Chains A and B, each alone.
Chain A
Amino acid sequence: MSKFFSRNKPLIKEFFSRSFGIIGVALLIFYIAMSIAAPIDAPNVLSNWISIDAWQDNPRAVPPVWYMQLINAPYFPTITLESTNHEDSNLTGLYQSVITITLSNTYQGLPTGFVFYITYEYSSQVLTTLTVVRPDNNNITLNVGNAISFPVTNKTISYTTRLTSDTPQLKEDIYKWLSSHKINLTGFPSSANIIIGHMLFSKLNQNILYRENAEPLQGIYKFVLYAFSFAPVSITDFKIIIDGNAYGIMGTDGNKRDVWAGLLWGAPIALMIGTLTSLFSLIIGLVYGVYSGYFGGRLDEILMRIVDVLISIPVLPLLILFLVYFGRASSIWIIIFLISIFGWMGIARVARSSALQIKGYPFIEASKVAGASNTWIIFRHIIPQLLPYAYASLALGVPAAILTEASLSFLGLGDPNLPTWGQILNHAQDISAVQFGYWWLWIPPGLLIAGISLAFVFIGHALDEVLNPRIRRL
């Protein structure tokens, strides 16, 4: 490695003396950093991307938090509160366990929903309630016990339950709370008709019924969770997730997925697709073109006519045909294979004309006289001469492959299991993100695709200028 650098020092220096080269390398470093950050920041995303359960606790299609701050809109971020700090007591045979979670609400916006995860350890029938102590003292009692079907047992077991703002029992409790506080519920004949996601944090007046009108109530909230039983009982874990109207760094999509995690994972996948495809088509094109040019004659004629036919077939329609025929949800490996199979013809033409030129040089004749085989000459003498061209076309092939994959994904022909940028754009188009103003679903992936393409275009251009001095005059 160090030998490579010392030998090519002038070339490397020349490369970095070009602003295109520097910008390209800087961009590439950014994407490599993203690729390294992806498994650290979002470790399980790759296997969970199409799972609905993995994302069910997130709000649906909400913008990033910083954007709401930037446009000065009232927002409530998505927050998670957890406590395992339970106080257990025994009052003459009645066992009791209490967990309290305190939240100081200073946000100007309203949440869109909430999720409770509660873990009980019990051995006999459990009575449990959750009291929400509000700053205005209009406390709400939620009969969570009625919503949970505890497995019957006679030995101590641990049981985790999930309750959300869509759980009918919780809606029923809030409905009762509203009517007991003289809220006019005309038009809402039953608890099924109300949406309660925002109500815990809203001022208690007639406006509370609709999230758009409700006024946020700031102050200290306490969630006090009780469990009673005639056998030992304890609440070992209590987790509250409040779904805001904003989420994380890049918001969420229509399937509640974290867009930031998807964008991060898009980087290593795009780099892999781009480099592998470019490398495969380069190898095919180089070997094919050099063989054709080196052997010449009838073989050359036939091989080049094949290239003529292949090059006049429109690639995207052909890829569409293949992918539809072999099943729409193709794996990424099939896509890489197909793009490289149909992307080498241009390289073959250039490689052939160079090989034609090189095979007339005296040193080829000399090595023939010395007894070198054709394969030896092709791989040891001709292909190394073509490497400067190869490096540049390797770099320039990457953006083409990435754009093709994005286009196929956008048409719904990509690998749906992977969070590629094209898949994110496809989903954005599915839910009409442009029309509804969900900009975080389509602007960032488009810019990332453009950025990674630019990185390789700039590097390729700078390489081309450094390694092929002839075109520098142009």
Chain B
Amino acid sequence: MGFYSYLAVRSINVFLVIVVTMALTIGLFFNAFHDIKVQAIKDEVRGIISGICRTNPARCQNQTDIQNYANQLTATLMHAQGLDKPWYEQLWPILRDILSFNFGRAQSLQADNGDNTVSVIIAERIPRTVLLLGTAVLLTTIIGLVLGLYSANKPQGILDKTVIVAGLTSNAFAAWWVGLLLQFIFAYQLRLLPPIGIMDYTIPHNNFFDVFVDVLRHLTLPLTSLVIVSVGGWALVVRNLLISTLAEDFISAARSKGVPERRILFGHAMRSAAPPIITIVALSVAGIFGGAIITETVFQWNGLGWLIWQAIGRLDMPVILAFFYISTILIVIANFIADMLYGIFDPRVKTG
């Protein structure tokens, strides 16, 4: 099996996971999905009725009459969308809507331009979360790799002992609590960095560089808190993987051949330990994502995490369901990319 068929199999797998997950979710939360649609129809009918009353006030004189008309209209629209059918016949239309990112309208949340379509609200927040999350994963991976590599090269050295202790201890801290701590020290006490937000709209931004610096200043604290709690454990994993690789014969052979130390570490050892490392990066994305949700609320970073916090506060069910779907896709895609890279680095797995 070549690389492309491996790719195809994996892609089908990804799609299946998403469909199965969402089908199960719809089954579990059927009432919520149903209510969202019914609510949308009721809102629509209310709009139609008030339109009639505005253009033709005479028709609105009789309250029972207009109420009957509204009920009739609601029933017709519900029938047209199949909402009066038994639940098992409604599953597929709901699933189709969800899979095509049609989540309906939010109950109270809005996008920056005032639009309350859930997909617009979500689409607006995704880049901000990806900026925070992506930078955090990237920095964690790079710092963790370098630390893990050097500590594996000198077991029981000072760096190695530090990495072991840091790896065991840092998992015990919640990223958002570290975020609170950094916010307290660097934003409220030392006043070096802004405590909350993505950009400071009160200062003028003349060019792209100004915007970049402003966002970077706001990004520093949430990013640092995410990296601090994950980099230790990550370095420990890399160290444990590499320490067994470095004991193997081909490393000794390379050493006796006179290959420079740096090349042994980054070329030979790293290349051979790459596949498991990539898998663990992918798995750690989910963990960092969990931490990022709450870190965003601490720093009021206007991404998906801050959105879900707002949605919980207002019990905005369409947004919460959409958030769940989007975060599932994010995690599944991260795993998919890892699988692809795994295939590139380790030719043996392509038969799967």
B17 interface neighbour in A308, A412, A413, A429, Cβ under 8 Å: A308
Q: Please measure, in the bound complex, the distance between the C-alpha atom of A255 and the C-alpha atom of B254, giving whole angstroms.
A: 67
Q: Is the CB of B290 within 8 A of A406?
A: no
User: Are B174 and A437 within 8 A (Cβ)?
Assistant: no
A314 interface neighbour in B290, B309, B321, Cβ under 8 Å? B290
Main secondary structure of the interface of B (DSSP, over half): helix
Please measure, in the bound complex, the distance between the C-alpha atom of A321 and the C-alpha atom of B328, giving whole angstroms.
12
Q: A269 at interface (Cβ–Cβ under 8 A)?
A: no
Q: Indicate if A5 sits at the interface (CB-CB under 8 A).
A: no
CB distance from B152 to the nearest CB of A (A): 10
A315 CB-CB contact with B under 8 Å: yes
Given contacts A309-B17, A411-B297, A434-B180, contact A328 B312 (CB under 8 A): yes
Number of residue pairs spanning A and B whose beta carbons lie under 8 angstroms apart: 114
The reply to whether A316 and B168 form a contact with Cβ atoms under 8 Å apart is: no
A151 within 8 A of B: no
Q: Is the CB of A315 within 8 A of B290?
A: yes
| CB atoms of A449 and B177 under 8 A apart | yes
Q: Is the CB of B290 within 8 A of A320?
A: no
A20 interfacial contact with B, CB 8 Å: yes
The residue that B171 contacts in the complex, of A399, A442, A443, A474, with Cβ under 8 A, is A399
Chain A at the B interface: mostly helix, strand, loop or mixed? helix
Residues facing A in B179-209 (CB within 8 A) are 180-181, 183-184, 188, 195
- Whether A321 lies near B294 (C-beta < 8 A) is no
| B180–A413 CB distance below 8 A | no
| Contact, CB under 8 Å: B294 / A325 | no
Tell whether A314 pairs with B172 under 8 Å between CB atoms, given A321-B321, A446-B180. Answer: no
Q: Which residues of B contact A395 (CB under 8 A)?
A: none
Q: Which of A46-54, A92-100, A124-132, A452-460 forms part of the interface with chain B?
A: A452-460
Interface residue from B20, B171, B188 paired with A435 (Cβ < 8 Å): B188
Q: Are B184 and A317 in contact (CB under 8 A)?
A: no
Q: Which residues of B contact A312 (CB under 8 A)?
A: 17, 21, 328, 331-332, 335
- Residues of A near B180 (CB, < 8 A) are 429, 434, 442, 446
Q: How long is the Cα–Cα vector from A396 to B298 in the complex, in angstroms?
A: 27
The listed residue (A321, A443, A458) touching B320 by CB distance below 8 A is A321
Q: Are A434 and B184 CB-contacts (below 8 A) given A313-B328, A317-B327, A324-B320?
A: yes
A318 within 8 A of B: yes
Mask, B4-45, CB within 8 Å of A = 1, is 000000000000010011000100010010000000000000
List the interface of chain A (C-beta within 8 A of B): 20, 308-309, 312-318, 320-321, 324-325, 328, 399, 403, 406-407, 410-413, 425, 429, 434-435, 437, 439, 442-443, 446, 449-451, 453-454, 457-458, 461, 474
Chain B residues with CB under 8 Å of chain A are 17, 20-21, 25, 29, 32, 168-169, 171-174, 176-177, 180-181, 183-184, 188, 195, 240, 243-244, 286, 289-290, 293-294, 297-298, 308-309, 312-313, 315, 317, 320-321, 323-324, 327-328, 330-332, 335
Q: Report the minimum CB–CB distance from B301 to chain A (whole Å).
A: 15
List 13 additional A-B contacts (Cβ < 8 Å) besides A308-B17, A314-B289. Answer: A314-B290, A314-B328, A318-B324, A320-B320, A399-B172, A403-B174, A411-B297, A425-B177, A434-B188, A435-B195, A437-B188, A446-B173, A454-B168
* CB-based nearest B residue for A460: B168
Give complex CA distance A224, B25 in Å. 69
Q: List 28 A-B contacts (CB under 8 A).
A: A312-B17, A314-B330, A317-B308, A317-B323, A320-B312, A321-B321, A324-B315, A324-B317, A328-B315, A407-B290, A410-B294, A411-B293, A411-B297, A411-B308, A425-B177, A435-B195, A439-B184, A442-B180, A446-B174, A446-B180, A449-B172, A450-B172, A450-B173, A453-B171, A453-B172, A453-B173, A457-B168, A457-B171
What are the residues of chain A within 8 A of B308 when measuring CB–CB?
Answer: 317, 320, 411
